Amino acid sequence: MKPFALSKVYQLLEPGPVVLLTTVRRGTANVVAMSWHMMVEFEPPQLACVVSNANYSFGGLRAVRECVIAVPASHLAPVVVKVGNSCGCDTDKFAAFGLTKVPAASVTPPLIEECFANLECKVTDTRFVNKCNIFILTVLKAWINPAQKNRKTLHHSGYGKFVIDAQAIKLKSRMR
Amino acid sequence: MKPFALSKVYQLLEPGPVVLLTTVRRGTANVVAMSWHMMVEFEPPQLACVVSNANYSFGGLRAVRECVIAVPASHLAPVVVKVGNSCGCDTDKFAAFGLTKVPAASVTPPLIEECFANLECKVTDTRFVNKCNIFILTVLKAWINPAQKNRKTLHHSGYGKFVIDAQAIKLKSRMR
């Protein structure tokens, strides 16, 4: 893993990829698929995400207040679906679906080796959790995995339907 | 415009497209580009979005508490960039960039004819606005424009760089 500039983290998440969220609950790491997230601030990078209180990851995220957001490329679509369709309450999803845990530098939940980007995050605001399951996260450290060459992300539009990034276009713009 | 089921609205926004946000301020409609949004609830569809208080649209959204989220397809990328790089304070962006206003059914801000989907929204929670410019919106009515055949969306990753949807894949999944 290679460090990635915090000032550019928004370029990973602003396009709306489905991500994998790792958490720790009672000492055990878990992972879930997540599409409901958005950037909130450029730098230090802050984001908001929705983790349902019906979800096993919710308890760990609220208690430990740390997580990793790992960005999978398109070839991991079948793994993303398996992760999203199983529960950490009865499955070690890392072992079951071939995801490799890598220790993070500043948080307890692990990075995922197979993802091309990993963001170590701290929960910095829980005031919106009771109202609508929204957690505010601050990215402490970001990593790019040079071994993962495929960086085309997946965008979920319901029931296992994904669109994959294709052509990139670059227009002259001042918009950050 | 053809009505679109509220229960499926998340399928339009969950993939993270850049959208156009219309608002009204002192009786005048304005439009801005926005990528920082996420779904919060399936049905009735609720979403969160970030509108900076440095932005001209902020005042109108906070005062009128209504907006339209219009989803542009890939051929509108040059228009999206122009909309994002200009200010409603000194420009009628609809006239300047060839966007056609269509009256909405239940809110004051207009729909946009050139977009393939339009969502009429009410601001239903402003408690997060002062803290981090997050507005919670509830979608009251959704429209699909059958005349707009291109529905490949744009995903912004900074400074006018967009990736365009390409191949769609469908995997068996229970994940809504």
Rg, Å, chain A Cα set: 15
Q: Which of A35, A40, A175 sits opposite B134 (nearest CB)?
A: A40
pLDDT-above-90 percentage for chain B:
80
Q: Give the mean pLDDT of A151-156.
A: 94
Name the more confident of A149 and A1.
A149
Order across the sheet with A161-170: list the strands. Answer: A154-156, A161-170, B161-170, B154-156
* Whole-number pLDDT of residue A173: 84
* Whole-number pLDDT of residue B173: 83
Contact between residue B173 and residue A85 where contact means Cβ atoms under 8 Å apart: yes
**CA–CA distance, B159 with B157 (Å, rounded to integer):** 7
* Whole-number pLDDT of residue B172: 86
Nearest to B153 by CA among B164, B166, B142: B164
Q: Which of B41, B132, B157 sits opposite A40 (nearest CB)?
A: B132
Residue B165 pLDDT > 90, yes or no? no
Q: What is the pLDDT of residues A79-119, one digit of tens each?
A: 999 999 999 999 999 999 999 999 999 999 999 999 999 99
**CA–CA distance, B65 with B21 (Å, rounded to integer):** 13
Please give, rounded to a whole number of angstroms, the shortest distance from the CA of B143 to a CA of chain A.
17
Contact between residue A74 and residue A152 where contact means Cβ atoms under 8 Å apart: yes
Q: Give the C-alpha distances (Å, rounded to integers) separating A18 from A84, A106, B3, B50, B91.
A: 11, 23, 28, 19, 36
* Chain B neighbors of A176, CB-CB under 8 A: 158-159
Q: Give the mean pLDDT of A135-141.
A: 96
- Using the CB atoms, write b or e for B15-33: b if 16+ within 10 Å: bbbbbbbbbbbeeebbbbb
Mutate to test the interface with A, among B128, B138, B150 (most CBs of A within 10 A): B128
**CA–CA distance, B64 with B108 (Å, rounded to integer):** 8
Q: Minimal Cα distance from B128: which residue of A?
A: A128
Handedness of CA B48, B53, B54, B60 (dihedral sign): positive
For residue B63, give both structure tokens: 């005062």
* Whole-number pLDDT of residue B52: 95
For residue A77, give both structure tokens: 């679509």
* Chain B neighbors of A172, CB-CB under 8 A: 81, 160
Count the neighbouring beta carbons within 10 Å of the beta carbon of residue B166.
14
Please give, rounded to a whole number of angstroms, the shortest distance from the CA of B171 to a CA of chain A.
5
Contact between residue B150 and residue A156 where contact means Cβ atoms under 8 Å apart: no
* Chain A neighbors of B35, CB-CB under 8 A: 14-16, 39
Q: Which of B81, B169, B173 sits opposite A175 (nearest CB)?
A: B81
**CA–CA distance, B14 with A18 (Å, rounded to integer):** 9
* Whole-number pLDDT of residue A172: 86
Q: What is the pLDDT of residues B65-101, one digit of tens each?
A: 999 999 999 999 999 999 999 999 999 999 999 999 9
* Whole-number pLDDT of residue B168: 79
Beta strand extents in A14-62 (DSSP E only): 19-25, 28-34, 37-41, 46-50
Q: Which of A38, A39, A162 sits opposite B168 (nearest CB)?
A: A162
* Chain A neighbors of B162, CB-CB under 8 A: 168-171
Interface pTM (ipTM) of the complex?
Answer: 0.93
**CA–CA distance, A165 with B10 (Å, rounded to integer):** 19
Nearest 5 degrees, angle CA A95-CA A52-CA A85? 35
SS (H, E, C) A152-173: CEEEECCCCEEEEEEEEEECCC
Q: In the 8-state DSSP scheme, what is residue B46? A: E
Average pLDDT, chain B: 94
Q: Measured over all CA atoms, what is the biggest interatomic distance in chain B, rounded to whole angstroms?
A: 50
Residue B175 pLDDT > 80, yes or no? no
> pLDDT band at B43, cuts 50/70/90?
very high
For chain A, the residue count is 176
